Amino acid sequence: MNERKNNVKKPSKKDLPPLPVLLTEKELKEKAQVAREIAYHRDLYYNKATPEISDAEFDALERRYNALLNKEIPLLKDIDVHEAKVGATPAAGFSKVVHSVPMLSLGNAFAAEDVSDFMARIRRFLSLADAAPLAMMAEPKIDGLSASLRYEKGRLVLAATRGDGQVGENITAGVMTIKNVPHTLKGSAPDVLEVRGEIYMNRADFFALNAQREAKGEPLFANPRNAAAGSVRQLDASITASRPLSFFAYALGEASPLPFSSQQGLREHLQAWGFAVNEPARLCHSTDEILTYYNALEEQRHALPFDIDGVVYKVNDFALQERLGFVSRAPRWAIAHKFAAERAETILKAITIQVGRTGALTPVAALEPINVGGVMVSRATLHNEDEIARKDIREGDTVIVQRAGDVIPQIVEVLLKHRPAGSAPFVFPDHCPVCGARAVREDGMAIRRCTGGLTCPAQAVERLCHFVSRDAFNIEGLGERRVGELMEAGFIKTPADIFRLHHHRATLALREGWKEKSVANLLEAIEARRTISLDKFIYALGIRQVGEATAKLLAKHYGSLPALQAAMIAAQDETGEAWAELTSIDQIGTLMARDSVAFFAEDHNQQVLADLSSELTLLPFVLVEKQSPLSGKTIVFTGTLQGMGRSEAKAKAENLGARVSGSISSKTNYLVAGEGAGSKADKAAWLGVTVLDEAAWLRLIEAF
């Protein structure tokens, strides 16, 4: 290995070059605001199933945040710093299935520019020239329920929903009733083969099913996707068998060695094994070809017998897919290009204010129910008071509502010609509608927040609901209604009180609507969660800007709660080593770090943590690493690498069990220095850190 170590006097801070300030004060405030909005809307979508914005709007928020982050930290321009939970937590009535290969979701594109950026990112990651060939398979994006079918020795042995991406529901009995799902594969197939695809319902079959339900006085399904999902997730497989379901195959999970090496080869073999594949598909060789296919498919989408909501683009070559790998929520080698949102006209009946767990006051429009893209909608997000003022949205207005994806729509336009006489502008409240505390808006921020804190019932309930939510403690039986009831009755005030509810067993059983069995079930569910992994515990705390991905980063880096607490307390000094270590963690920026430090510094939160620690067993974070020369090492990249792009190198290091950091410290094991390494190489030499040139780096990883 090419190593460099110099006995150079360690420099003082004044000798180190100053970091450039690339964001204005206004942009810094905007970045903080956007980050908080992202965290807020993630919580609504993934934990409460009550989203307020469309996929397109959420994607725009993430793009804006990344644009600001890239300006602040240019080296991060190829990193998606956000992650989203995939799917939903498995329902209690189904047995659980752990996916041997996670079922991840896809990133979204909503415009031609997004697709061009996606293609450019792939080329940068792979260090491909603009003229280098790059084949992409374009396929219709079926609007159904994702499922994984496992075959062993050619026979179907297990079927599961996506679930949360890691754990799904066992739906084998129901899938066995789907007519075009082969129970035994045709021809020669690998010993183990997990075929992934979409369970869906043709539109004609959907309309016929709804007609039957209407005749019987049964509730109607909103759209074919909901009908398919509701049909396959039946505990009684005979109900599933009575529904006209179909299956399209388009991907693989775990599989024995395969006789093909491309997406095109996969499609051909899936058909040979007896599966239907989503058509029409096309192998494209340029961005222009991709967009031509997209435009043609959008024109003919309503002529297809099934619903599609966009197009999926996948790198055709499996070897390139392997190199590209994954970000936390999605593959780098695929993206979903959604069709334009559908619109409808309706009446805005009232504007209400919701209060979230961080105190954010969010306006929501109550609408005259209207069918938008096959779904009846009655609410729309209004985002914040600036949005209301900008569009001059008033109660009683006739509005154009847009829906993009299965989420609460947005109001895109007010039809002033229909405005009723005497209507008045909406006055946004300056006090919390729940607790009456002042609602303040910080300079440069778009959101007004209640100052009531934990004394505000809305915030207290929301915080506890987050604590017990699916991706946190996941305590079954503790929904928002029950949490509110227990708080109002004085049984719980803090998270730790939940684990002391067994002291009130007899009293709870006497309450209206409660029985001994329901109390026993709840207490059993609580007891089952007294042991929890560190990353889920951190996420459950509801720290601003700390979602699941960031919680895992913190758990992975610090390993235990005491170590994390000590580091956060020490990091209050932003000139110290603890702060430098925190902000060097890949994907943790300055504002996110400050929110984490502020949480652990607050006296009340320290008391809550101490109280919880007395009730719980926290499992230290155990990193499952590949055994390699980089296992458990901290590595920093600097300069330009010629053989592989910086993003690919970082992904490779993480895949081999390394912790990738953005800055040099005494805890750094390796600095990989490309051309133009600059000050980081000098600092590594000062600290005695091993420096590898690109050739040494490639030799280090060549066996893996």
Amino acid 590 reads: T
Phi–psi pair at 167, nearest 5 degrees: -130, 130
Q: Which of 338, 369, 389 is the last residue of a domain?
A: 338
* Same domain as 327, residue 356: no
* Same domain as 484, residue 543: no
In a domain, 442, yes or no: no
* Same domain as 226, residue 303: yes
Q: Which of 532, 553, 572 is the last residue of a domain?
A: 532
Beta strands in 170-245 (DSSP E): 192-200
Answer for the pair 59, 110: CB distance below 8 angstroms, yes or no: yes
CATH number at 172 reads 3.30.470.30
What confidence score (pLDDT) does residue 7 get?
Answer: 37
Residue 532 has pLDDT above 50, yes or no: yes
252-287 confidence digits (pLDDT tens): 999 999 999 999 999 999 999 999 999 999 999 999
Domain range enclosing 463: 450-532
538-573 confidence digits (pLDDT tens): 999 988 888 888 898 899 889 899 999 999 999 999
d(CA 220, CA 148): 27
CATH number at 356 reads 2.40.50.140
In a domain, 68, yes or no: no
* Same domain as 162, residue 250: yes
d(CA 689, CA 191): 47
CATH number at 653 reads 3.40.50.10190
H or E stretch covering 157: strand 155-161
* Same domain as 225, residue 127: yes
Beta strands in 176-304 (DSSP E): 192-200, 246-255, 282-284
**Domain count of the fold of the chain:** 5
What confidence score (pLDDT) does residue 250 get?
Answer: 96
Residue 21: pLDDT band with limits 50, 70, 90: very low
309-355 confidence digits (pLDDT tens): 899 999 999 999 999 988 767 899 999 999 887 788 999 999 999 98
In a domain, 290, yes or no: yes
Amino acid 393 reads: I
In a domain, 50, yes or no: no
* Same domain as 266, residue 127: yes
Answer for the pair 392, 410: CB distance below 8 angstroms, yes or no: no
What confidence score (pLDDT) does residue 249 get?
Answer: 97
117-166 confidence digits (pLDDT tens): 999 999 999 999 888 999 999 999 998 899 999 999 999 999 999 887 88
| Residues recognised as catalytic | 141
* Same domain as 579, residue 476: no
* Same domain as 297, residue 237: yes
In a domain, 441, yes or no: no
What confidence score (pLDDT) does residue 291 get?
Answer: 96
**702-to-157, 298, 653, 694, 698 alpha-carbon distances in Å:** 37, 44, 12, 12, 6
When computed from its CA atoms, the radius of gyration of the chain, rounded to whole angstroms, is 27
Residue 12 has pLDDT above 70, yes or no: no
Task: Identify the CA nearest to 648 among candidates 202, 326, 343, 410.
Answer: 326
In a domain, 417, yes or no: yes
637-673 confidence digits (pLDDT tens): 888 887 777 777 877 887 787 878 877 888 888 988 8
Across 212-220, average pLDDT: 80
d(CA 88, CA 168): 9
Residue 14 has pLDDT above 50, yes or no: no
Q: Poorest-confidence range of 91-105, 112-126, 471-485?
A: 91-105
* Same domain as 218, residue 165: yes
CATH number at 492 reads 1.10.150.20
- Does residue 409 have a cis bond before it (omega within 30 degrees)? no
pTM above 0.75? no
Share the mean pLDDT of the chain: 83
In a domain, 2, yes or no: no
* Same domain as 134, residue 235: yes
**201-to-19, 145, 662 alpha-carbon distances in Å:** 56, 10, 48
Phi–psi pair at 223, nearest 5 degrees: -165, 170
Rounded percentage of the chain residues whose pLDDT exceeds 70: 86
H or E stretch covering 156: strand 155-161
Residue 54: pLDDT band with limits 50, 70, 90: low
Amino acid 110 reads: F
* Same domain as 553, residue 594: yes
d(CA 500, CA 491): 9
* Same domain as 203, residue 109: yes
Q: Which of 338, 354, 388 is the last residue of a domain?
A: 338
In a domain, 563, yes or no: yes
